[in-house]
C-alpha cells in the first residue's frame, strides 16, 4: 500500500464513529477522527444547560445497550473512567390509579407484580434473557444467517409483530401499559410491524444488565472511548466541519458517522446514480422535543416505585400511548403526548448541587416541528406527580431545529438516524450486499443510519470498520464472542 497521511479517517465522533476508529486502531492502523463540534461525543454530551452545577445529558441519558454491547463491553472502559450506576428500579410506568408497573432487575419480581400476566410475561421475556449472549450479535448487526438459528427464530417470531398485536396476550392494564411504554421507544406507530422488537430487547435488558446511567453524565462514555482510542495511538481533531472530501487528509479509507443527507452533500458526486438515488429516498422519522429541569427537590411521584426508577414512562394506558404515537406520525401534536423521563441525580450526586436535582424528558413530535411542547410535557409529569411544577428552578428546552443544530445527524429532530420501520430495518441506508459500503471504493457509512440503528452501542461503527478492514486492508478481524 502506498503511503498516506493516515490509514483511515473517521468523520464524526459519536459512539459509532468512536467504535469504528477504535476497531481500526486495534488492528494496528493509523486513524484520525474529525469532529465538527468543540466537544466529542455526538449524542454523548453533557452540559450545564440550566444553572451552574446542574449537569444535564444533552441527548442520550440511560444506556442499557451501551453496557451490554457485544463490542463495547470488550473494551477496558472502566480503566478509562467509565462507571455505570444501576437505579433500584430500571423503569417505572405510573397509572392514573396511583399505582405503577415496574421493570426490575429480577425477572421473577417483575412478572409477579403483573398479577394475572405473570405467566405470559415469563414466557415472553425469559427465553430472551436466557439466550441474550447468543442473540445480541445477531440482533445488533446486519442481516445475515444467524449462528444460533433456533434462538433467533424464537425471538424473531415475536419481534416481527406489531406492539399492539403482541399486547393482546396481556390481560391487565398494568402489563399492557408497561409494554406500550417499552415499544414506544421504536418512535413510530405501535401498529407497525417489528415495533415489538425494541420493546422485547429493552425489557430483557432490564433483567440482563439493568438500565444503567454513566456516573458524571453521558459524556463519560465518549470520554472513556476517546481516552482508550488515544491510548492506542489514535488522533482526534475537533472544530473540523467536513463539507467536502477535499478537506480530508489522504487515507486509504474514510468512514462517515453521518446520515445519508450529509453523506450526499460531502461525497454524493463520487457515488453511482443508483446508490445516490437510494440515499435521496432515505426516510427520516419523528423528531423529539426535549426539556431539562433544575429542581429544588426530587419529582413527587404519587407512585412510590417511580421515585426509585432511573426511567419513568408517562402515558398511562396502551390505548393512550398508541393514540399519541399515531397522531404524531400523522403530523399532529397530541394533547397528552407519551413522555420519556429520566431522573439521574437521584442516583448520581455528581449531577446537581447538594440537595438539588435534575430531570430530563422528551416527547415525540412530527419531524421538523417547532411547536413548543413545554406545557404538554410538564402537564404529563404533573398528572402523575402533583406539585412537580413548584419544584422547578429552571428549565432548558430544545425543539427539532435546535436538536438538529446541536447534532446534524438528528435530521428534523430524528434521534434514530432515520425511521426504523420494516422497510429500513436491515436495508438502511440502501439495499446492498453490505449496508456499510458506499458505491465508491474506500468510502463507508458507519452511523445509526446503518444496522442495527439508533442507540448507544457502537455496533454500527464496529461493523463498518470490520468491513473496511476486509475490503481495503485485507485483514480478517476476529469475531466477537458468540457472533
**Strand order across the beta sheet in which 392-398 lies:** 100-104, 89-94, 309-314, 339-342, 357-365, 287-295, 392-398
pLDDT for 151 beyond 80: yes
pLDDT in tens, 17-72: 999 999 999 999 999 999 999 999 999 999 999 999 999 999 999 999 999 999 99
In a domain, 333, yes or no: no
- For residue 45, give the CATH number of its domain: 3.50.50.60
pLDDT in tens, 172-228: 999 999 999 999 999 999 999 999 999 999 999 999 999 999 999 999 999 999 999
Mean pLDDT of the chain: 97
Residue 209: C-alpha distances to residues 69, 190, 255, 457 (Å): 11, 26, 31, 14
In a domain, 54, yes or no: yes
Total-model pTM? 0.96
In a domain, 153, yes or no: no
pLDDT at residue 483, as a whole number: 60
Is residue 465 helix, strand or coil? helix
In a domain, 155, yes or no: no
**The three three-digit cell numbers of residue 345, written as one number:** 441525580
pLDDT top residue among 478 and 129: 129
pLDDT at residue 425, as a whole number: 86
In a domain, 263, yes or no: yes
In 41-80, which positions are buried (b, 16+ CB within 10 angstroms) versus exposed (e)? Answer: bbbbbbeebbeeebbbbbbbbbbbbbbbbbbbbebebeeb
Distance (Å, rounded) from C-alpha 129 to C-alpha 145? 21
pLDDT for 144 beyond 90: no
pLDDT at residue 473, as a whole number: 96
In a domain, 225, yes or no: yes
In a domain, 75, yes or no: yes
Distance (Å, rounded) from C-alpha 188 to C-alpha 202? 16
pLDDT in tens, 421-473: 999 988 899 999 999 999 999 999 999 999 999 999 999 999 999 999 999 99
pLDDT for 360 beyond 70: yes
pLDDT at residue 30, as a whole number: 98
Strand partners, 289: 363
Residues in contact with 107: Cβ distance below 8 Å, sequence separation at least 6, in sequence order: 122, 125, 126, 129, 207
Strand partners, 340: 313, 362
pLDDT at residue 282, as a whole number: 98
Q: How many domains does the chain have?
A: 1
Neighbours of 390 (CB within 10 A): 11
pLDDT at residue 148, as a whole number: 83
Note down the domain range covering 442. Answer: 8-82+214-284+414-471
pLDDT at residue 146, as a whole number: 82
pLDDT at residue 13, as a whole number: 98
In a domain, 289, yes or no: no
Q: What is the mean pLDDT of residues 388-407?
A: 98
pLDDT at residue 482, as a whole number: 64
pLDDT in tens, 253-291: 999 999 999 999 999 999 999 999 999 999 999 999 999
pLDDT in tens, 335-358: 999 999 999 999 999 999 999 999
Amino acid at each position: 500500500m502506498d503511503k498516506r497521511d493516515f490509514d483511515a479517517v473517521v468523520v464524526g465522533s459519536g459512539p459509532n464513529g468512536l467504535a469504528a476508529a477504535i476497531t481500526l486502531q486495534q488492528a494496528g492502523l493509523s486513524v484520525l477522527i474529525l469532529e465538527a463540534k468543540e466537544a466529542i461525543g455526538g449524542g454523548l454530551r453533557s452540559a450545564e444547560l440550566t444553572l451552574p452545577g446542574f449537569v444535564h445529558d444533552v441527548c442520550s441519558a440511560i444506556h442499557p445497550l451501551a453496557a451490554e454491547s457485544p463490542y463495547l463491553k470488550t473494551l477496558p472502559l472502566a480503566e478509562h473512567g467509565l462507571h455505570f450506576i444501576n437505579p433500584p428500579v430500571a423503569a417505572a410506568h405510573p397509572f392514573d390509579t396511583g399505582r405503577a408497573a415496574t421493570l426490575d432487575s429480577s425477572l421473577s419480581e417483575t412478572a409477579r407484580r403483573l398479577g394475572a400476566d405473570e405467566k405470559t410475561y415469563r414466557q415472553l421475556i425469559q427465553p430472551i434473557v436466557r439466550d441474550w449472549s447468543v442473540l445480541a450479535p445477531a440482533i445488533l448487526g446486519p442481516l445475515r444467517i444467524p449462528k444460533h438459528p433456533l434462538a433467533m427464530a424464537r425471538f424473531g417470531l415475536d419481534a416481527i409483530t406489531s406492539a399492539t398485536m403482541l399486547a393482546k396476550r396481556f390481560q391487565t392494564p398494568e402489563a399492557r401499559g408497561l409494554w406500550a411504554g417499552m415499544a414506544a421507544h421504536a418512535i413510530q406507530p405501535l401498529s407497525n410491524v417489528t415495533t415489538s422488537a425494541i420493546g422485547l430487547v429493552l425489557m430483557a435488558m432490564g433483567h440482563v444488565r439493568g438500565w444503567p446511567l454513566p456516573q458524571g453524565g453521558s459524556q463519560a462514555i465518549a470520554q472513556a472511548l476517546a481516552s482508550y482510542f488515544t491510548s492506542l495511538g489514535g488522533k482526534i481533531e475537533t472544530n473540523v466541519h467536513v463539507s467536502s472530501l477535499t478537506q480530508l487528509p489522504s487515507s486509504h479509507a474514510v468512514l462517515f458517522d453521518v446520515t445519508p443527507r450529509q453523506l450526499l452533500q460531502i461525497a454524493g458526486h463520487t457515488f453511482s446514480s443508483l446508490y445516490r438515488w437510494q440515499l435521496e429516498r432515505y426516510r427520516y422519522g419523528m423528531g423529539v422535543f426535549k426539556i431539562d429541569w433544575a429542581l429544588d427537590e426530587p419529582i413527587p411521584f404519587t407512585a412510590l416505585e417511580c421515585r426509585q426508577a432511573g426511567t419513568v414512562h408517562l402515558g398511562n394506558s396502551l390505548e393512550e400511548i398508541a393514540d399519541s404515537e399515531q397522531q404524531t406520525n400523522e403530523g399532529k401534536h397530541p394533547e397528552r403526548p407519551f413522555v420519556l423521563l429520566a431522573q439521574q441525580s437521584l442516583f448520581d450526586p455528581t449531577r446537581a448541587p447538594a440537595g438539588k436535582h435534575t430531570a430530563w424528558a422528551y416527547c415525540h413530535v412530527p419531524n421538523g416541528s417547532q411547536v413548543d411542547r413545554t406545557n404538554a410535557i410538564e402537564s404529563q409529569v404533573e398528572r402523575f406527580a402533583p406539585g412537580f411544577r413548584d419544584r422547578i428552578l429552571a428549565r432548558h428546552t430544545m425543539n427539532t431545529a435546535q436538536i438538529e443544530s446541536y447534532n446534524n445527524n438528528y435530521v428534523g429532530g430524528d434521534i434514530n438516524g432515520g425511521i426504523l420501520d420494516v422497510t429500513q430495518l436491515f436495508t438502511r441506508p440502501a439495499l446492498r450486499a453490505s449496508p456499510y459500503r458506499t458505491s465508491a471504493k474506500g468510502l463507508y457509512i458507519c452511523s445509526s443510519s446503518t444496522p442495527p440503528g439508533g442507540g448507544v452501542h457502537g455496533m454500527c461503527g464496529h461493523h463498518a470498520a470490520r468491513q473496511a478492514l476486509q475490503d481495503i486492508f485485507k485483514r480478517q478481524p476476529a469475531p466477537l464472542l458468540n457472533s
